[in-house]
Amino acid sequence: MERFFKLRENGTNVKTEVIAGITTFMTMAYILIVNPNILAATGMDKEALFTATALAAAIGTLVMAFLANYPIALASGMGLNAFFATVVLTKAVTWQIVLTIILIEGIIFILLTLFKFREAIVNAIPQNLKYGITVGIGLFIAFIGFNSGGITNNITLPDGSNLLVLGDITSLTVILSLIGLLGTVFMLHKKVRGALLWGILGTYLLGVICQLTGLYVVDIAAGSYDLIPGEVVSVPPSLAPIAFKFDFSGALKLGFDFVLLLFAFLFVDMFDTVGTLIGVANKANLLNKEGKLPKTKQALMADAVGTTAGACLGTSTVTSYIESASGVAEGGRTGLTSLVTGILFLVALLFSPVLTIIPAFATAPALIIVGLFMISSITKIDFSKDYTEALPAFLALIMMPLTNSIAEGIMFGIGSWFVLKVLQGKYKKIHPIIYVLVILFILKILNPI
């Protein structure tokens, strides 16, 4: 392990990497439940989706471990799975056709990665913007944590708009999340190894105690699930209902709509992945002195392979996960972290009753603290001298949580940076890749799906 993953060179050890891998898995294991629930609305087999989700996550994460040696895990992307379901339900398109589109997307990504186009995007983004993206992802993760813990809630106003408000602080699950948050921070202060993982497990065990004493009442309709597994081991459901169910003729019959749908999936996945790689790599100190990410090609190839494999298995687009930052916060620095996470996704196939029962209120404290860690990069952004550099970084970091999209944050950041540089007369110094990205942004705006 030392020789293959170069642990000493990266200032880590086996114990640290294992704890980091477990922590990453715990903070993203929710996808094993959420993804099947979302995609089942399209008519896909829910049990088969569980197996597909776990296998696709394992494949993508293990490829990342061995090919790129980075502590970044992959799984079916949140937002992308919702987009999958929305297309099927509102565009009169079958789920088989959408899986075909995702397969083609994955193949295109493999080709773009081989020709280093996606790598060029990562390296062409200005350093100030990279810091802004890191901070934005931190805020995004923290928002997810606050919402999943019930500390904040989204409410719909009469005019149809959404508003973020304080949740019910007297709710037991919110109280447990806050106890977990304070307890985890205290352990971090005391330099307890694996504080985030112990925080998740400790918060969960408090919930179990509350259920056993009657304080926590199981009410599935209200979102309160049983915290005590009914069984330990179960046989993974068959993939037969959804694996390799492509419809190429149906996809081609869509005509220009097929092109628009393919572009939409490509756009969101590309910039979600780029943003996640930059944010997590920056926090793990993986960027070199020039602000570039070594082995970018290998990391992006893992994402492309994961997406292609996921489509074959029968699940939505596989992408790098921002929750990987929780493992990085625990000290994960190499692919050994990803190896542990990938293995746990395989183990989850047999031990799903135990591994998928961890509630959102237990993982919320870890996500909030990861946001705290990542927002520290804001001190590296120079807000005082050049506002043409400061504003794009600010727009990137603020638009990610506000739009609930990493891709949209990057679009605002790069788009504003490009316009400001042109107004300054510095258009000759703009990297050609930025011109290509701006064209993609314009196409995205003109052709919303």
Question: How far, in Å, CA of 10 to CA of 333, rounded?
Answer: 6
User: Could you report the per-residue pLDDT of 263-310, keeping only the tens digit for each?
Assistant: 888 887 888 888 888 888 888 888 787 777 888 899 999 999 999 999
Closest CA to 321 of 273, 362, 370, 264: 273
Percent of the chain with pLDDT over 90: 49
Phi–psi pair at 310, nearest 5 degrees:
-60, -40
Closest CA to 199 of 342, 343, 27, 347: 27
Mean pLDDT over 220-224 rounds to 75
Buried b (16+ CB within 10 A) or exposed e, 82-119: bbbbebbeeeebbbbbbbbbbbbbbebbbebbeeeebb
* CA distances to 253, 319, 445 from 448, in Å: 20, 21, 6
User: Could you report the per-residue pLDDT of 109-125, keeping only the tens digit for each?
Assistant: 999 999 988 888 888 88
The answer to whether residue 164 scores a pLDDT higher than 90 is no
- Largest Cα–Cα distance of the chain, in whole Å? 69
Q: What is the pLDDT of residue 449?
A: 60
Residues 6+ apart with CB under 8 A from 100: 246, 247, 248, 250, 251, 311
Mean pLDDT over 402-430 rounds to 89
Q: Which residue has the higher pLDDT, 436 or 107?
A: 107
- Domain boundaries along the sequence of the chain: 2-379
User: Could you report the per-residue pLDDT of 226-245, keeping only the tens digit for each?
Assistant: 899 888 888 899 999 999 99
Cβ atoms 169, 361 nearer than 8 A? no
Q: For residue 395, with 0-12 CB atoms within 10 Å meaning exposed, 13-18 middle and 19 or more buried, which class applies?
A: buried
The answer to whether residue 377 scores a pLDDT higher than 90 is no
Question: How far, in Å, CA of 437 to CA of 376, rounded?
Answer: 28
Q: What is the pLDDT of residue 318?
A: 95
Q: What is the mean pLDDT of the chain?
A: 89
Cα torsion angle, 70, 73, 79, 83, sign: positive
Mean pLDDT over 166-180 rounds to 95
Q: What is the pLDDT of residue 157?
A: 81
Locate 59 and state its tokens. 């494949």
Give the global pTM. Answer: 0.79
